[in-house]
């Protein structure tokens, strides 16, 4: 069965510092992997996705994530945090084919300190 | 460019009342979903519809029913609301034409008192 684990329900970084949000997955088949961002009182927006092409995926707002099969990880990074990055971030996994069921992690709330 | 539209955005119900959350997508997606979001628990799948004419239970289906009215619309019904159903509900859709990415509506905030 698929599962997603996000380490750290809350992460705080200083403005300008590196952002690192961790995601580990388990999947019995090659997965699709996603990162979504949720701003307060809004729905989830796609940041980036991995679909078995390049292992380093670039997304919107300067975020990127690297798929590491040996570590079953898909960590999200951004070199320099901005105040506007404060939000909740969700990692998700789905099977590459089939019923398109998506499993979401429990989320990581990012706080950016001035 | 509407994407996924869900209504209502806010609703307060009394215990035992019923209501239906409506959802429509205009991206010609085959699959539609209803999730609930609770603090510290992420998103949990209530029901999904892999294609028009089919529906299946997700992780937390108890107390809910769904209807896939047509390809565009997927509704969620609470027959007898309970305080435990106080949550934020998200409708979503996905399809091969959009690279199997799942797209979300803006959410419906439901409070059961």
Residue B35, Cα to own-chain centre: how many angstroms?
5
Instruction: Give the pLDDT of residue B41.
Output: 84
- Residue B64 makes CB contacts below 8 A (sequence gap 6+) with B34, B46, B47, B76, B77, B78
End-to-end CA distance of chain B: 35
Q: What is the pLDDT of residues B50-108, one digit of tens each?
A: 889 899 999 899 999 999 999 999 999 999 999 999 999 999 999 877 777 899 999 99
**Probe site for chain A from B23, B37, B43 (most A CB atoms < 10 A):** B43
Instruction: Give the pLDDT of residue B42.
Output: 86
For residue A2, pLDDT beyond 80: no
Cα–Cα distance measured from residue B96 to residue A111, given in angstroms and rounded to the nearest whole number:
35
Give the nearest chain A residue to B31 (CA atoms): A100
For chains A and B, count residue pairs whose Cβ atoms are closer than 8 Å: 53
User: Tokens 């939000």, residue?
Assistant: A87
CB A89 within 8 Å of CB A95 = no
What percent of chain A shows pLDDT beyond 70? 96
Nearest to B104 by CA among B3, B1, B27: B3
CB A21 within 8 Å of CB A87 = no
**Probe site for chain B from A49, A102, A105, A107 (most B CB atoms < 10 A):** A102
Instruction: Give the pLDDT of residue A96.
Output: 58
Residue B67 CA neighbour count, 13 Å, CB half: 9
For residue A95, pLDDT beyond 80: no
Instruction: Give the pLDDT of residue A3.
Output: 86
Identify the DSSP state of B73: B
Residue A13: pLDDT band by 50, 70, 90 thresholds?
very high
Instruction: Give the pLDDT of residue B100.
Output: 77
Task: Report the mean per-residue pLDDT for chain A.
Answer: 90
A98 or A64: whose pLDDT is higher? Answer: A64
Residue A29: pLDDT band by 50, 70, 90 thresholds?
confident
For residue A113, pLDDT beyond 90: yes
Residue A114 CA neighbour count, 13 Å, CB half: 0
Q: What is the pLDDT of residues A53-85, one digit of tens each?
A: 788 999 999 999 999 988 999 999 999 999 999
Residues of B in contact with A102 (CB under 8 A): 33, 45, 94, 102
- A32 CA to chain B: closest CA distance, Å? 9
Per the CB < 8 Å rule, is A44 touching B104?
yes
Cα–Cα distance measured from residue B84 to residue B112, given in angstroms and rounded to the nearest whole number:
8
Instruction: Give the pLDDT of residue B18.
Output: 96
Instruction: Give the pLDDT of residue A65.
Output: 97
């Amino acid at each position: 069965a698929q599962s997603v684990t996000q380490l750290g329900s809350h992460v705080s970084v200083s403005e300008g510092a590196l952002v690192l949000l961790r995601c580990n997955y388990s999947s019995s088949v090659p997965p699709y992997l996603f990162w979504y961002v949720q701003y307060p009182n809004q729905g989830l927006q796609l940041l980036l996705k991995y679909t078995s092409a390049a292992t380093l995926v670039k997304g919107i707002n300067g975020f990127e994530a690297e798929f590491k099969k040996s570590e079953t990880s898909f960590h999200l990074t951004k070199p320099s945090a901005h105040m506007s990055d404060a939000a909740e971030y969700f990692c998700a996994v789905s099977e590459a084919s089939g019923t398109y069921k998506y499993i979401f992690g429990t989320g990581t709330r990012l706080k950016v300190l001035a | 460019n509407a994407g996924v539209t869900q209504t209502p955005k806010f609703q307060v119900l009394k215990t035992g009342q019923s209501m239906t959350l409506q959802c429509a997508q205009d991206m010609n997606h085959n699959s539609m979903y209803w999730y609930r979001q609770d603090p510290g628990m992420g998103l949990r799948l209530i029901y999904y519809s892999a294609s028009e004419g089919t529906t299946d239970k997700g992780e937390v289906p108890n107390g809910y029913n769904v209807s896939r009215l047509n390809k565009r619309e997927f509704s969620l019904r609470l027959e007898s609301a309970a305080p435990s159903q106080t949550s934020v509900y998200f409708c979503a859709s996905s399809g091969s034409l959009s690279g199997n990415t799942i797209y979300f509506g803006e959410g419906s905030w439901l409070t059961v008192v």
